């Protein structure tokens, strides 16, 4: 079976490799920007800036690598209400202009929320272990 993916750098279709975390992240953000993603956005211009900020990050960026790692099997990132239903929709609301500092803060906040949620899940699983 051939896996077909989209290369987000130039739109070219690739064969034989899975979609990267960064590509999935960008696709989800772009869906939100277009109005058919997981959440509505209050400031589309700010979210567009955040998308460009993420696109410019190297795939090896520590924050992206940590987000990719925290999500393994738990949904602590993709299904986290504090990330997707609170932070993303409100990003840039009430600000006359957003810049890279606000983008870095949003990405850091998303990472903090995902890690916190992951820790909560692990603590709950530990408590459920037989003594």
**Domain locations along the chain:** 40-128
Closest CA to 92 of 55, 57, 64, 51: 51
Q: What is the mean pLDDT of residues 82-90?
A: 87
On the question of pLDDT at 92 being above 70, the answer is yes
pTM: 0.78
Closest CA to 29 of 98, 97, 102, 87: 87
On the question of pLDDT at 53 being above 90, the answer is yes
Looking at every residue in the chain, the average pLDDT score rounds to: 81
Can you tell me the distance from the alpha carbon of 127 to that of 19, in angstroms, rounded to the nearest whole number?
35
Instruction: Check residue 102 and give its pLDDT.
Output: 94
Q: What is the mean pLDDT of residues 31-36?
A: 89
Tokens in use for 85? Answer: 């239903």
């Amino acid at each position: 079976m051939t896996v077909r993916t989209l290369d987000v750098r130039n739109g070219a279709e690739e064969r034989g490799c899975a979609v990267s975390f960064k590509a999935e992240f960008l696709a989800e953000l772009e869906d939100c920007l277009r109005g058919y993603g997981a959440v509505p956005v209050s400031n589309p211009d700010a979210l567009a800036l955040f998308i460009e900020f993420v696109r410019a990050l190297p795939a090896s960026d520590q924050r992206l690598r940590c987000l990719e790692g925290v999500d393994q099997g738990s949904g602590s990132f993709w299904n986290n209400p504090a990330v997707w239903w609170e932070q993303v929709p409100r990003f840039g609301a009430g600000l006359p202009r957003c810049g890279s500092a606000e983008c870095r803060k949003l990405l850091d906040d998303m990472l903090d929320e995902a890690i916190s949620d992951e820790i909560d899940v692990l603590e709950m699983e530990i408590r459920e272990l037989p003594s």
